[in-house]
Amino acid sequence: MHVGKTIRIASMILVVGIALAACGAPAGPSIQVQDAWARPAMAGAGMAPAGTAEGAMGQGMGAAGTGAVFMQLANEGQEADRLVGGRTEIAQVVEIHETRMEGDVMKMQMLSEGLEIPARGSVRLEPGGYHVMLIGLKQDLAPGDRFELELQFEKSGTMAVEAEVRQP
């Protein structure tokens, strides 16, 4: 029930956003989320045999119990906004992360200030770069699965999106 309500509110925000865009760029931020997807992942170590995920995911991230979500964030408004967090029923914690190379080592860090989406600009979350990190996965993510994710923006508030699991 709660999710359904969130979707309705998100749709209303989207409709208002489109209406505003029709008469010029909105004064505030106007965020659109496109193409949300997650890589396949396994639930936490408590549910999967220890060590099975070791090395299977590669790319320096993706230990058992974590997942990563990617998407395109567009802002058609005249004001920047920030993606500061999120929540989902399939994971205990949602964080905004960045992967970067330090020499030959791929490292991942949490963006404590969030991720800025510039006015009249867009940001792509993709493997090897920005991502929404799911920590403490409660279920496996298999290709074709879909799940609900709430994104929290500094100015635009909460936005519900549906992510599809697929191979990178």
Does residue 7 contact residue 134 with C-beta atoms inside 8 Å? no
3 state SS of 59 = coil
Stretch in the footprint of Cu ion (CB under 5 A) among 17-25, 36-44, 75-83, 90-98: 90-98
Nearer to Cu ion, 39 or 97 (CB): 97
Nearer to Cu ion, 76 or 95 (CB): 95
Handedness of CA 138, 139, 140, 143 (dihedral sign): negative
| HSE (side-chain half, CA atoms, 13 Å) at 4 | 1
* DSSP string covering 115-126: EEE-TTEEEEE-
Min separation Cβ 119 and Cu ion, Å? 26
39 belongs to the binding site for Cu ion (CB under 5 A): no
Does residue 156 contact residue 117 with C-beta atoms inside 8 Å? no
Taken as a whole, the chain contains a residue count of 168
97 belongs to the binding site for Cu ion (CB under 5 A): yes
| Ranges of H-type helices in the chain | 2-22
Min separation Cβ 62 and Cu ion, Å? 9
108 belongs to the binding site for Cu ion (CB under 5 A): yes
Stretch in the footprint of Cu ion (CB under 5 A) among 1-9, 76-84, 95-103, 137-145: 95-103
3 state SS of 20 = helix
Nearer to Cu ion, 45 or 108 (CB): 108
Give residue number: closest CB to Cu ion.
97
Stretch in the footprint of Cu ion (CB under 5 A) among 31-39, 69-77, 131-139, 154-162: 131-139
Nearer to Cu ion, 53 or 133 (CB): 133
**What is the CA 26 to chain-centroid distance, rounded?**
24
Residues in the site for Cu ion, rule: CB under 5 A? 97, 108, 133
